Amino acid sequence: MKLFQSFFKLLPYLAIGSLLLSCQVQDSSNKVRPFQLDEITIPEIQQGYKDGRYSVRQIVQLYLDRIEEIDRNGPGLNAIILVNPDALQIADSLDQELAAGNSRGPMHGIPVILKDNIDTHDKMPTTAGSRILQDSHPLQDSWVAKKLREAGAVILAKANLSEWANYRGSFSSSGWSGVGGQTNNPYVLDRNPCGSSAGSAVAVSANLCAVAVGTETWGSIMCPANANGVVGIKPTVGLWGRSGIVPISDTQDTAGPMTRTVTDAAILLGAVTGVDSSDEKTFASQGNSFTDYTQFLKEDGLQGKRIAYLKTEEGTRHKVDTLMHRAVRFLKSQGAEVIELEQLVEGDPWKNSREVLAFEFKDGLRKYFARLGEDAPVTDLEGAIAATLADSLEMLYFNLGRMENAQSKGDLESREYKKAVRDMLLAYRDDGIDQAMDDHNLDAIIAPTGGPAWKTDMLNGDNFVLSTSVNAALAGYPNINVPMGFIGDVPVGISFFGRAWSEPVLIEIAYAYEQGTQHRKAPTFLLTD
């Protein structure tokens, strides 16, 4: 089977070792030919359709060829689990609409790759990276897939991910799944892509698609965006509907854009907003959402903004500090006032999230399997654990610590669960982000998103050394990563986050920063000596 051949072919690249910032690298870029669509944006593709330089079929075929050349073969990124066998047929129908003078809008004919925990009702299964779901075909589209199809997007492929969106074991290698194997960082191939939206981030960074969609519960859009040099938006929970997404947490889960530019992220963000009748969190988005976020793309978007630099991670990595200080100087030069903020929360209220996720994962999986109907491979978390334990490939590297902990929990009427939710949201919303922004009259808060990518290590698992995604993730508030520069050969990013439904002002700030700095560089697929 091609998936397993691809996986075992990658084993030589799964180097075991510690993070080495000053490694010697061998240039393998001569193995990757120049690509006609490198770094192309949504507006550029649309202009090509208008000019007659491109057809949707041509764009889709070019991306399919690119996936075959450098994901399946070539450097071996392993970002894609499965391509859509109907992609060209869909492209032809969209070309017919254009020929008739009908365009559905800015997403018409735009190839999108979805993280493979997002349901599509087509010939592609939705696996969440788990072999027990490798033949699971949802009975209906997710909200995300439905909205993208309505907007005229081409769902090109499903992306690899950390299995069960990294809610599986007590340790793991981000970007590894039993179905897809290990995803590799396109900048330096033995570096980790971070997770859980590893494949989505790698796909868009390596120009395997125009844009991609990831999901986040706690850092799963932000960390891969940081490690792979792309823009990631984690929206306010409720801005995008979550029905048809393999869940972890009803309180924290959201899908969001992963793109090469803030412009493309803004276009994609607006295409998926709306009230999802199956997701009550979206009811609060009425009056707080837009179908067009490009109106907030302002080159002078930093002028007059008041921003706090959150310093909780300062001193962790001095090279990250250097880039962050440079970013602060740029923000000031563009008319923003920047103050320093020593902390957002007191103590360790993040521990409440461990309880919230455990209770909600068990409950959410039961509901998700019910959505699959009679053909669901299992009906609950207990069945998923048993099936995984019985699979030798699934158990080759990592345990099921998180799943087993979740199985030990009661239902959502538990006092323990309700207290954990209440205490977490109080700490990160009312007494955290909201209070800081009110006290200091802030438009946004900034922080380094993370550190440089570590070497993938299948023996010891991930080596996180720096992350600030906890604040927005546990609050359920929006966060945007933009490339901030490079440490050696790998990128790192800066985060812009704030209160609920503040995507417009965050996009203004992020866009102005991006346009004035232009730190995004396409990967060159290096190998460590």
Which residue numbers are catalytic? 115, 196, 220
Q: Tokens 């440490």 identify what position?
A: 487
State the residue for tokens 């009230």: 275
- Cα separation, 484 vs 327, in Å, equals 7
Phi/psi of residue 194, nearest 5 degrees: 65, 170
Crossing angle of helices 42-51 and 262-271, in 10° steps, is 80
Rounded CA-CA distance 488/477 in Å is: 32
Please tell me the distance from the alpha carbon of residue 225 to that of residue 208, in angstroms, as a whole number.
Answer: 15
Q: How far is CA 525 from its chain centroid?
A: 21
> What φ, ψ does residue 96 adopt, rounded to 5°?
-65, -40
- The amino acid that residue 512 corresponds to is A
Amino acid making up residue 458: M
Taking the mean position of all CA atoms in its chain, how far away is CA 28? Answer: 27
In terms of Cα–Cα distance, which of 246, 250, 191, 253 is closest to 220? 253
Residue 306 phi, psi dihedral angles, 5° rounding: -115, 120
Cα 41 to Cα 185, 254, 441, distances in angstroms? 22, 24, 35
Query: 22: buried, middle or exposed (CB in 10 Å: 19+, 13-18, 0-12)?
Result: exposed
Alpha-carbon distances of 293 from 105, 215, 263, 489, rounded to whole Å: 13, 19, 9, 32
| 154 φ, ψ (degrees, to nearest 5) | -105, 115
Sign (positive or negative) of CA dihedral 505, 152, 214, 58: negative
Q: Which residues contact 526 (CB under 8 A, 6 or more apart)?
A: 25, 26, 27, 28, 29, 187, 188, 189, 489
Cα(205)–Cα(209) distance, integer angstroms: 9
Helices (H) and strands (E) in the chain, counts: 16, 15
φ and ψ at 444, to 5 degrees?
A: -165, 165
- Neighbouring residues of 231: CB distance < 8 A, sequence distance ≥ 6: 225, 257, 258, 259, 260, 261, 262, 264, 265, 480, 481, 482, 483, 510, 514, 520
C-alpha to C-alpha distance for 243 and 374, rounded to whole angstroms: 19
Residue 452 per-residue DSSP state: P
**Amino acid sitting at position 463:** N
